[in-house]
Structure 1
């Protein structure tokens, strides 16, 4: 029962942190356009700045995700979760105060720097926390619940954004992100995947802090264990399944990055979407994803298997982006968004497959390595899709196809789909952690 309570506190933390990030998304395009190109529906500067931010963030996360993951194997998940949750507050506070051009640039710089640590690390550490407490057969369903809480945050965040002013969304995001940090620090129990390495935690309560000569030696040993490229290479060589999953993760992230770089600007230019319409679109995505991951995935994953669910999700994602790229009417993106009920299976299935390839003391570094690989895709993606989006939304386009960049993202998903059908996940590595069924008794 204690472990179930611990996971409940984790789910609440995931919900709150994602709610804060989601509630500002519908309005950020309008804020960006208003600060950089007031009164216009097309803005090359906004597209390129967004792409540059995505690329720089990707470079940072490539370096930070494996490091954060492995340090969580050493210091514990709770200590490392505190860092990204705290840093994510700063950009929200800036735009909550003012959204003028100067404050937008301050937000832009702070968001870029903090995202190098916070982008993806909350998910990475949350999945590692779940893997510490849930046995292999039930892990895919538990990963689906984590993703389901993210989707639930989409629903709550976009509903809130629909009825709040732009200024209020950033104020709410600031408050909720602060609550997430405080809640996590008070209620979340730390896990100890590697008991021997947790002798010198980063963050301790005063009563738990002790000083000894052995602790200094422990610190030195810890930094000898910091993640490096060798860790990633070792994982890729040791398991063909891990290598296949890494390939799929790269192209899936490349497509997601392409969609992020182009979709909102495409809808803004093509159909003159505003904050409320973006919120409606995200709301459909969130509701479909929440229902799918909290209801359908726990039922389907044990029966069908993560491998088949992964392939199905990638193929339907490919078809969805293909239809979005040729959207001929304003209702098309809304219909396509409903297919999120199938496409959201990809990430939790992929992460579950990866978690089963490593032992209980390597969950953090394994998830961090996959996050690092997806971050490489996030570096490359804006370099490809931002110029494509700008070109085909402008009068300089070699031929008329405003959604060409989205179609290219769809083909990246097809490249991910092909090796996904070949994945044959190994049996879970035995662990002495208490299983999910045990926790519920």
Structure 2
């Protein structure tokens, strides 16, 4: 019961922090367009700014996530959670105050810097926290529930954004972000692998860690107290064939998803003139289907179906989703693709569960940080690939110049009964 209560407090923290970060997504695109290209529905500069930011954040998180995960193995999950939860408040507070061009660029710069630490670290630490407190056979289901809480936050945040003004959206997000940090510090208990209490302060050297020799039971060596190096990460990847295969799948899945995430809103803005409310409606459908799958369907399937099979089903759902977006010829198509979110949301919990079972209890933070770093590396590469494609093949004013091989012009659509994809 005590472990269950600890997990409940963790879930609430993840819900609140995710709610705050995701509820502003439908508004950020419009704020960016107004600040950078006022009065326009198409803006190459906004696309490249978004892609550049994603790449810089990815470069930072490649270094920071393994470091944060490794430090959490030494100093505890709660101590490290405090940092990203606190830093994430700053960019939201800026746009809560004002969304003029000057404040937007201040938000853009600080969001880029803080996201190097915050992006993915809360999820990484939450996963390690779950691995500390849940048996291996139950991790897939609990990882799915954790992902479902994040998806539930997406649904609630999107609903809030749908009915709040842009200014109020950022103000509420900033307040909820503060609440998440305070709630975590008050209610979430510290968690260390194979330990009931924090064994060393975060600012103290680990040379005198008395917990390494406190038992006769055989266990894997404690993680190094040094900063994780490239060699250490490579060694961890080589420690298990399954671990390395999961890392490869995580990299390519994020490479495709990251490119879609960076460009899809600008694509919908240019092609179908989507607004904040339409973004919110679409995200709401995705969130509801994903939440139902993670909180209801996945806990039922996980004990019956192997993780590898659930992962394959999720990957097929993601492929189908991207293919339908690529041939979207009407505004209803993006909404129809949400059916595949039911399966695509299987991917992260399955990968995380597979990874957590390949290493010892003292290296859960290090392993989850390593996978998160690999995902961040994909985030660096994806905008380099997708931003030029989005600019040339979606936002081009003349479809026969940059997009002739991808989309028919509106006049051609009227002359042909179907959309031809070359």
Give TM-score, length-normalised by structure 1. 0.86
Question: 1:96 corresponds to which residue?
Answer: 96
Q: Residue 329 of structure 1 aligns to a residue in which SS?
A: coil
Deviation at 1:197, TM superposition (A): 10
Question: 1:390 corresponds to which residue?
Answer: 391
Q: Does the CA-based 8 Å contact 1:33-1:43 persist in structure 2? A: yes
Question: 2:296 corresponds to which residue?
Answer: 295
Return the alpha-carbon distance in structure 1 between the equivalents of residues 407 and 84 of structure 2. Answer: 36
Alignment pair present for 1:54 and 2:59: no
Question: 1:270 corresponds to which residue?
Answer: 271
Name structure 1 gaps, 5 residues minimum.
Answer: 204-213, 404-441
Give matches, 1:400-419, under 5 Å. 400-401=405-406
Deviation at 1:256, TM superposition (A): 1.1
Deviation at 1:261, TM superposition (A): 1.6
Change (3 A) 1:216 1:153: closer
Change (3 A) 1:107 1:44: same
1:297-316 deviations in whole A, cap 9, x for unaligned?
11101111111000111011
Deviation at 1:199, TM superposition (A): 2.8
Q: Residue 328 of structure 2 aligns to a residue in which SS?
A: coil
Name structure 2 gaps, 5 residues minimum.
Answer: 210-221, 409-422
Change (3 A) 1:292 1:321: same
Give matches, 1:281-320, under 5 Å. 281-320=282-321
Deviation at 1:400, TM superposition (A): 4.9
Give matches, 1:86-125, under 5 Å. 86-125=86-125
Q: Does the CA-based 8 Å contact 1:41-1:268 persist in structure 2? A: yes
Q: Does the CA-based 8 Å contact 1:74-1:194 persist in structure 2? A: no
Return the alpha-carbon distance in structure 1 between the equivalents of residues 99 and 232 of structure 2. Answer: 43
State the Cα RMSD in Å: 1.8
- Aligned length in residues: 392
Change (3 A) 1:215 1:365: closer
Return the alpha-carbon distance in structure 2 between the equivalents of residues 194 and 74 of structure 1. Answer: 11
Question: 1:45 corresponds to which residue?
Answer: 45
Alignment pair present for 1:235 and 2:236: yes
Deviation at 1:215, TM superposition (A): 6.2
Q: Residue 261 of structure 2 aligns to a residue in which SS?
A: helix
Question: 1:163 corresponds to which residue?
Answer: 163
Change (3 A) 1:224 1:136: closer
1:14-68 deviations in whole A, cap 9, x for unaligned?
0000000111000100000000001111000000000000000000000000000
Change (3 A) 1:363 1:398: same
1:291-331 deviations in whole A, cap 9, x for unaligned?
10010111101111111000111011101110111101101
Change (3 A) 1:293 1:216: closer
1:123-174 deviations in whole A, cap 9, x for unaligned?
1000000000000000000000110000000110000000000001100000
Q: Does the CA-based 8 Å contact 1:66-1:369 persist in structure 2? A: yes
Give matches, 1:4-15, under 5 Å. 4-15=4-15
Question: 2:404 corresponds to which residue?
Answer: 399
Deviation at 1:202, TM superposition (A): 2.5
Question: 1:421 corresponds to which residue?
Answer: none
Q: Does the CA-based 8 Å contact 1:79-1:201 persist in structure 2? A: no
Change (3 A) 1:9 1:40: same
Give TM-score, length-normalised by structure 2. 0.90
Q: Does the CA-based 8 Å contact 2:23-2:161 persist in structure 1? A: yes
Change (3 A) 1:247 1:111: same
Deviation at 1:401, TM superposition (A): 2.2
Return the alpha-carbon distance in structure 2 between the equivalents of residues 196 and 297 of structure 1. Answer: 30
Deviation at 1:226, TM superposition (A): 2.1
Return the alpha-carbon distance in structure 1 between the equivalents of residues 324 and 288 of structure 2. Answer: 20
Q: Does the CA-based 8 Å contact 2:223-2:362 persist in structure 1? A: no
Question: 1:428 corresponds to which residue?
Answer: none
Deviation at 1:375, TM superposition (A): 0.5
Q: Does the CA-based 8 Å contact 1:199-1:218 persist in structure 2? A: no
Question: 1:369 corresponds to which residue?
Answer: 370
Deviation at 1:224, TM superposition (A): 4.0
Deviation at 1:216, TM superposition (A): 7.7
Question: 1:327 corresponds to which residue?
Answer: 328
Deviation at 1:332, TM superposition (A): 0.7
